[in-house]
Chains A and B, each alone.
Chain A
Amino acid sequence: MSCLSEERFIHLLDRGGLEAAGSDDEFHLNSCDACRETWASIAAAGDVLAEAKPKTAGRATRWVPLAVAAAMLLAILAAIALRPTPSRDPVARFVDGTPEEARSARAELLKLGRNALPGLVAARPRLQGKARLAELQSLVWDLKSSSMRQDPEDLALVRKLETLKLDIAFSKTRFEDVLHFIRDWSGVNMVLDPALNPGIVEVLRLERTSLREVLDILCAVEGLEFDFRYKVVFVSSPLRLWSTDPKIGVPLTNCWRAQAPDSDPTARKLHTIRITADMQNAPLSACCEYMNEVGGTKVRADPSIVAELITMKVVDLPLDHVLELLTLLRGWDVRIEGGEVLIFARGQQ
């Protein structure tokens, strides 16, 4: 086979990199030093350029009102949780009550399901260094995993977090790099909320620790939390995860689910087709092209958002959940129109 053309190199770059290489490209890149060097040179130059992209003021400040609202709500939740009254609030009884009161409060909180999580998480700092912290962590885990025990695939994910043990040692490492390492090592799909920009993990050293505990500790370092969402482990702020206020919490599903019956051919495709995607600063338009190619269903994005850059990695995930991760975390949504899947910014319906 002859060397890759200039156009082909750029085509690969547009498609997000080497993962988009066809079998011919793969075979050739494996055997041709010159093409390998050329690829390395232009792809690395592209990385340097993309990294220097000027940040627009709008994008940088977009989350400020949300952060302020989140801080206020968190303060309110904390005030409720920390109220020193012998109220009948099950969180307060679980945290401050006698062992008997804590046991009955636990049963009540389990009945509340995920709605109990914000209060429990807000109360957690009060238990630092106390024996009941482990009980609270155990309750939080039970609340997160209780809805995951019906579906065998969900159950396997829960079991993996409970049983996989790892040794890690990081210092001065970006939060997302630590998370990505754990994701790649464990093979569990983990997605960090792109609305967040967590900082540097100063020191994290754990031995023979379960994946679930590693995530608990890692998230606690940055004031974050994780939950099972969209068939992945989704890491975000407690409010984004569990707030029922649609202006703050991340929606659970795309709007097309209410729009199209399960028998709709496009909906069926979204449910059944599974894809693997590794998008690194890829324009949304390129992500759509990739999904068209791999998923065999027409996916397109509103022109106002096609240039947005996407970084996301998932392995073997149903297309409907890939779309949820791609859109809901960024304030977008998905509808089905004439058999096509349309990604749009919420508020532009």
Chain B
Amino acid sequence: MSHAHVSNTGRIWKVFWLLSAITIVEVFFGIYKPQALFLTDFLSMNLLNWLFIILTLVKAYYIGLLCIWKEKRQLCDGWL
């Protein structure tokens, strides 16, 4: 683990905007509920719910990234 105290501020804000954007997309789909997605089932769940769950997992990944950033810096290098 490198102890070079480089500031990550730029990347932190990038993650923030990404998380916000995903949330906005989720809310948009939640309010408008496009019928094509809402009424089409895939593996006994509608596509809209699949979309929500996948976006949630993406969000969870980036929050985890915020968190683990300092623990194992090398994990994150090159991904953002």
A joins B in a complex: no
Residue positions of A touching B, CB distance < 8 A = none
Residue positions of B touching A, CB distance < 8 A = none
